[in-house]
Amino acid sequence: MSSSSSVPDYLRDDDLIQETRDLISSLPSEKGWLVSRMYQFQGRWHTEALLQGILNCQKDFEAQDSDIILVTNPKSGTTWLKALVFALINRQKFPVSSSSGNHPLLVTNPHLLVPFLEGVYYESPDFDFSELPSPRLMNTHISHLSLPESVKSSSCKIVYCCRNPKDMFVSLWHFGKKLAPEHTADYPLEKAVEAFCEGKFIGGPFWDHVLEYWYASRVNPNKVLFVTYEELKKQTGVEIKRIAEFLGCGSIEEEEVREIVKLCSFESLSSLEINREGKLPNGIETKAFFRKGEIGGWRDTLSESLAEKIDRTIEEKFRGSGLKLSC
Ligand code: PAP
């Protein structure tokens, strides 16, 4: 990955330990869409830096029973889910009412309120997770297969948010063009769709990530809650209540639900100064996380034939799983 100032540190490869270099030299690798090189580890494609973050996390992260871990494929609603769950679990400490103008979400980007596990484990290995207030709220893109053992063995809760793959792809396409123009120039849209359908992009394949958590949610519904961006969009309040029930948040007033929906809506968050003008410590502009926030926005970017290619791929991969994603 280049050292362009807009690229977050967790995507840079400058700071690897020797053990990781040795491991990497044994892994399948390819030039990738959005990155100069990516490596296949436990079935998923990663940059060297993200792989280092995942390895550190697997080694050092000790989950607590009260932890809440939000999991997504990139561009599947991470920022929104972070805001919603942060507002929900902190509603006693930080009441969400339109009259209170000092809610943390009004002055802080959701990514700074909810740490990104593998990013922190790469960028700031000394970060002390034990200092986070309980229940600790964190997020990750790590696949179910590669989660730290303690996450699986403890009683911590996982909320997984999935998004329609065409919207997810298009969101990543636009994000990548902004963030890493040098690694997208040689990837016209057709080639990027091809890579996506081969599962070859950071964190991919898309379907393995989704299906692992889908099955985990079927097998252990008290441990993994599966939500979708589309349902969140269509009935945010209903989904908030479902998440609240899953997390054992106690009863929640209808008025509180309405206030959380409003505070965390695309229109509200994207219009805040912190999310229009701000930057994360790694240099990435906060506005990059707010583009359109729509269902079906892929139509502006994908031709019918590219859309069909993604549909065919996903249909084949999801066959027999019982999972259907609306678009
Ligand atoms: P990340 O995984 O890199 O953190 P993530 O937040 O999942 O990114 O993706 C950003 C997408 O969520 C953007 O979608 P788009 O490109 O199709 O527009 C962004 O607009 C959308 N998004 C961010 N905040 C919200 C929100 N409050 N409501 C709905 N969508 C949102």
Give the torsion through C-alpha atoms of 272, 119, 160, 178, to 10 deg.
50
Q: Which two tokens stand for residue 114?
A: 């909810």
For residues 204 and 26, give the distance between their C-alpha atoms in angstroms, rounded to a whole number.
19
Q: Ligand 1: distance of its center to the CA of 296 in Å?
A: 13
Residue 120, SS3 per DSSP: helix
Q: Please, which pLDDT band fits residue 5 given cuts at 50, 70 and 90? A: very low
Burial tier of 285 (Cβ tally within 10 Å: 0-12, 13-18, 19+): middle
pLDDT, tens digit, for every residue of 196-245?
A: 999 999 999 999 999 999 999 999 999 999 999 999 999 999 999 999 99
The neighbouring-strand residues paired with 41 are 44
Q: Which of 70-79, 170-179, 225-234, 291-300 has the lowest mean pLDDT?
A: 170-179
299 lines ligand 1 (CB under 6 A): no
Q: How far is CA 142 from the centre of its chain?
A: 9
For residues 256 and 226, give the distance between their C-alpha atoms in angstroms, rounded to a whole number.
23
For residues 179 and 173, give the distance between their C-alpha atoms in angstroms, rounded to a whole number.
10
**Nearest protein Cα to ligand 1, atom 11:** 75
Pocket test of ligand 1: the residue of 79, 113, 164, 175 to mutate, having most ligand atoms within 8 Å of its CB, is 79
Q: Which pLDDT score is estimated for 15?
A: 64
For residues 104 and 175, give the distance between their C-alpha atoms in angstroms, rounded to a whole number.
25
pLDDT, tens digit, for every residue of 263-272?
A: 999 999 999 9
Q: Which pLDDT score is estimated for 186?
A: 79
What fold, for 9-318? Rossmann fold (3.40.50)
Query: What does 56-118 look like in DSSP terms, one character per residue?
Result: HHHHH----TT-EEEEE-TTSSHHHHHHHHHHHHTTTTS---TT----HHHHS-HHHHS-BHH
Percent helix, percent strand, percent coil in the chain, to nearest 5: 50, 10, 40
Write out the H or E segment, with its range, that includes residue 259: helix 254-263
Q: Ligand 1: distance of its center to the CA of 293 in Å?
A: 6
* pLDDT top residue among 26 and 19: 26
Residue 174 appears among annotated catalytic residues: no
Contacts of 176 (CB under 8 A, 6+ apart): 33, 34, 183, 184
Q: Please, which pLDDT band fits residue 283 given cuts at 50, 70 and 90? A: confident
**Nearest protein Cα to ligand 1, atom 21:** 293
Pocket test of ligand 1: the residue of 50, 76, 80 to mutate, having most ligand atoms within 8 Å of its CB, is 80
For residues 101 and 310, give the distance between their C-alpha atoms in angstroms, rounded to a whole number.
43
pLDDT, tens digit, for every residue of 132-186?
A: 999 999 999 999 999 999 999 999 999 999 999 999 999 999 999 888 777 777 7
Q: Which pLDDT score is estimated for 187?
A: 86
8 lines ligand 1 (CB under 6 A): no
Q: Which pLDDT score is estimated for 22?
A: 87
Atom of ligand 1 nearest to the CA of 175: 16
167 lines ligand 1 (CB under 6 A): yes
pTM: 0.94
Contacts of 253 (CB under 8 A, 6+ apart): none
Q: Which of 101-115, 131-145, 181-195, 252-266 has the lowest mean pLDDT?
A: 181-195
What average pLDDT does this structure show over 9-27? 77
Q: Ligand 1: distance of its center to the CA of 298 in Å?
A: 13
Please give the share of the chain, as a percent, with pLDDT higher than 90.
80
pLDDT, tens digit, for every residue of 120-143?
A: 999 887 899 999 999 999 999 999
Q: Is 48 in contact with 37 (CB distance < 8 Å)?
A: yes
Cα separation values, 232 from 17, 93, 95, 293, Å: 40, 24, 22, 11
Q: Which pLDDT score is estimated for 4?
A: 43
For residues 182 and 176, give the distance between their C-alpha atoms in angstroms, rounded to a whole number.
9
Q: Active site residue: 46, 103, 111, 141, which one?
A: 141
For residues 121 and 116, give the distance between their C-alpha atoms in angstroms, rounded to a whole number.
8
Q: Please, which pLDDT band fits residue 58 given cuts at 50, 70 and 90? A: very high
What average pLDDT does this structure show over 102-108? 94
**Nearest protein Cα to ligand 1, atom 27:** 266
Q: Which of 6-10, 51-55, 197-201 has the lowest mean pLDDT?
A: 6-10
Q: Please, which pLDDT band fits residue 11 given cuts at 50, 70 and 90? A: low
**Cβ contacts of 186-192, under 8 Å, gap ≥ 24:** 187/33, 187/34, 189/301, 189/302, 189/306, 190/306, 191/33, 192/33
Burial readout 217-247 (b: 16 or more C-beta within 10 A, e: otherwise): beeeeebbbbbbbbbbbeebeebbbbbbebb
**Nearest protein Cα to ligand 1, atom 23:** 290
Q: Please, which pLDDT band fits residue 3 given cuts at 50, 70 and 90? A: very low
In this predicted structure, the answer to whether residue 112 has a pLDDT above a threshold of 90 is yes
For residues 117 and 119, give the distance between their C-alpha atoms in angstroms, rounded to a whole number.
5
Q: Which pLDDT score is estimated for 32?
A: 85
Q: Please, which pLDDT band fits residue 2 given cuts at 50, 70 and 90? A: very low
In this predicted structure, the answer to whether residue 14 has a pLDDT above a threshold of 70 is no
Atom of ligand 1 nearest to the CA of 73: 2
20 lines ligand 1 (CB under 6 A): no
